[in-house]
Structure 1
Amino acid sequence: MRNHKIKIGNHCIGDGQPCFIIAEIGSNHNRSLKTAKRLIDEAAKAGVDAVKFQIYSAEKLYSKNVPKHSHYKNNLWEMIKEIETPRIWIPELKKYCDKKRIIFFATPFDQKAVDELEPYVDLYKISSFELVDLPLIKYIAKKKKPMIISTGLATMEEINEAYLECLNVRNHNIVFLQCVSAYPASPESINLSAMQTIKHAFNVIVGLSDHTLGFHVPVAAVAMGAKIIEKHFTLDKGMKGPDHPFAIEPKELKEMVSQIRDIEMAMGNGHKSGPRTHELENFCIGRRSIHAKMKIPKGSKIDENMLIIKRPGFGIKPKYLQSVISKKAKRQIDPDAWITWKMIEK
């Protein structure tokens, strides 16, 4: 498998690179530019790499005749209309993110949204529900910018169809995110192992778009190979709106980033090469070596009854026990002393 990497701004994404962490603001600004900027502020403080918004219009997203959803009181069309991100914000959001040194991008839900985002973004996101909108995927792929595609609800065949649309216009900068389109999603539904299934099937970078409560699942995903984590983010779970209840708040976001970075360091390089620098004291004190069980007079022949193996490890290694037995002591060896090669005849 080729060691594929994707460049986004100053970030390199792929195997051997840090996880790219996205705070999904989505519509949690509640149509307040001030709130949107506060969310960007908190995301930057938490140490994420990017913030993501959603750009849609109710007229192009839902029919007014859409059936009522069991989780929402209002008609879906009306709800979406209330939480649209004003498109006039796009230049200002980009400028503000640049000021905070954080990447701005968004999920466009129609071609007009793509056109409005194009001057301001270095990558695009495709939501799980739009994975089957192949004309939209093709339109975005033609921009030749990296695309992050969520795979909630999808079969491998549908993922392949979306992938081929990108390849057909020579856009190979594709990342697929394992995702479960439930809000919130239960941990048992997440199927983190699907990341590796997708990675090996399509030879792509993979990650997780997470809708579980808390942040333990995305941290685990990083240990399983996720190179991108996307997590919904809010200032307060109690705010009005469909995405606030399952989002994480600023303190949680900061802790998630910290734990992901800890996990990345903990994963190491896979090599076992003996004690690390910070283990050296324990290596000497905690390892075992051959000791005198009793007083061993100078010139006496050493037998097994005179010896005991215990800590510390400053003496002869236990694997050489048979080489020590029958040797003569070159000097008196006191009880409980560790035995070194200098104490016995060759």
Structure 2
Amino acid sequence: MSQRHVVINGRRIGPEEPPYIVAELSGNHNGDIGRAFALIDAAKAAGADAVKLQTYTADTITIDHDGPEFQLQGGLWHGRRLYELYEEAHTPWDWHPRLFEHARSMGIDIFSSPFDPTAVEFLQELDAPAFKIASFELVDIPLIDQCARTGKPIIMSTGLASPTEITEAVSAAKAAGDGGVILLHCTSGYPTPPEEMNLRTLPHLAQAHDVVPGLSDHTLGVTVSIAAVALGACFIEKHFTLSRADGGVDSDFSLEPHELERLVKESREAWLAMGSVRYEDVPSEAASRDCRRSLYVVADVAAGEAFTPANVRSIRPGHGLPPKHLPEILTKTASRKLSRGQALDWSMVG
């Protein structure tokens, strides 16, 4: 991929850097700003690079309407009215300055997903270092354009989007600004079964669109995210809560602090394990080299005696001739008297 990295608040994000881990707070504050502060603290303690908010009100994301089109069918929120759900889940705008200040004081990045033009303007006032476009908003090209024109990095999720819609969104972001694009493979199921993630799409997205790739992961647990890192994901976003038992609109598919800590640790280990194309020995192999197989004298041999499978074998350790020479050795004789346990070398072969 030729777009090698994107920078958020001074942190480089790309294949040459450890994966950037984002804890999505969403509505898991449960209407309590103290809990929102605690979520930020817990994300920092777990090693996450950033926390993310969602900046909307029920009135900026939908309208108060009782029609069937405004009621959710199926899934986690079946039967709920959109307006009612977003009224419960939104993060009050008057919390934002305090949350941004708190995160910055804790040394963890903070940004948000805007859902309308007023939210973009508001987040600009807070000097948000990046903008996240949610999957359902990927088709809102004017919103993407407004975010990109700030010059900040744009992170976009692809859940539900067709290839054409993804191309249109990426093209709009690149045309409007130069902050860079991070494109997150995403399946918009809440939660998503692992078999519906199709992670092999991730490197294809990166190559097709010349972007830094990542994953917005709504599966349970951390396995899928770690697998995504092995496929090149540079950015991982997971919903985060203090405890699923506390409830909340997104709690069912959110990580708890010990799980987020595991995600941070294991995703970075996966990234380290990717390494580079290499066939040479590495330091940890030094002690193992002597344990490879080689040719040894396994029974005493008189000078001039023929080598046979009874007196020469391929065994461990590896100080003798390579085993590939055994067929040739078995056509030769000993150049001198040899003792059981000697590593065979060419000077012993007549």
- TM-score, structure 1 normalization: 0.93
One-letter amino acid matched to 1:311: R
Structure-2 residue corresponding to 1:95: 101
Structure with the larger RCO, 1 or 2 (CA within 8 Å, 6+ apart)? 2
Q: In 1, Cα distance between the equivalents of 2:117 and 2:3?
A: 32
Structure-2 residue corresponding to 1:198: 205
Structure-2 residue corresponding to 1:304: 308
Contact 2:3 2:210 in 1 (8 A): no
* 1:267-312 Cα distance to aligned partner (Å, 9 max, x none): 2212111x32222222212x11111132112x32443343111111
The offset of 1:84, in angstroms, is 1.8
Contact 1:107 1:126 in 2 (8 A): yes
Q: In 1, Cα distance between the equivalents of 2:205 and 2:269?
A: 26
The alignment of Structure 1 onto Structure 2 pairs a total of residues equal to: 342
Identity %: 37
The offset of 1:55, in angstroms, is 0.7
One-letter amino acid matched to 2:226: V
Q: In 2, Cα distance between the equivalents of 1:324 and 1:222?
A: 49
Structure-2 residue corresponding to 1:229: 236
Structure-2 residue corresponding to 1:276: 282
1:212 equivalenced with 2:232 (yes/no): no
Contact 1:132 1:162 in 2 (8 A): yes
Structure-1 residue corresponding to 2:324: 319
Query: Unpaired segments of 5 or more residues in structure 1?
Result: none
Aligned ranges for residues 12-51 of structure 1 at < 5 Å? 12-51=12-51
The offset of 1:341, in angstroms, is 4.1
One-letter amino acid matched to 1:69: L
* 1:66-101 Cα distance to aligned partner (Å, 9 max, x none): 532133454220221122211122222122112221
- Cα 1:261–1:111 shift into 2, 3 Å: same
Q: In 1, Cα distance between the equivalents of 2:71 and 2:2?
A: 46
Contact 2:89 2:249 in 1 (8 A): no
* 1:236-268 Cα distance to aligned partner (Å, 9 max, x none): 112232211111101111111111111112222
Contact 2:215 2:237 in 1 (8 A): yes
Structure-2 residue corresponding to 1:335: 340
- Counterpart of 1:250 (choices 242, 253, 257) is 257
Aligned ranges for residues 39-118 of structure 1 at < 5 Å? 39-65=39-65, 66-70=69-73, 71-118=77-124
Q: In 2, Cα distance between the equivalents of 1:140 and 1:103?
A: 18
Q: In 1, Cα distance between the equivalents of 2:49 and 2:99?
A: 15
Contact 2:174 2:181 in 1 (8 A): no
- TM-score, structure 2 normalization: 0.92
Q: In 1, Cα distance between the equivalents of 2:138 and 2:52?
A: 18
RMSD between aligned residues: 1.9
* 1:213-247 Cα distance to aligned partner (Å, 9 max, x none): 11111111111111111000001112232211111
- Cα 1:61–1:184 shift into 2, 3 Å: same
Contact 1:51 1:102 in 2 (8 A): yes
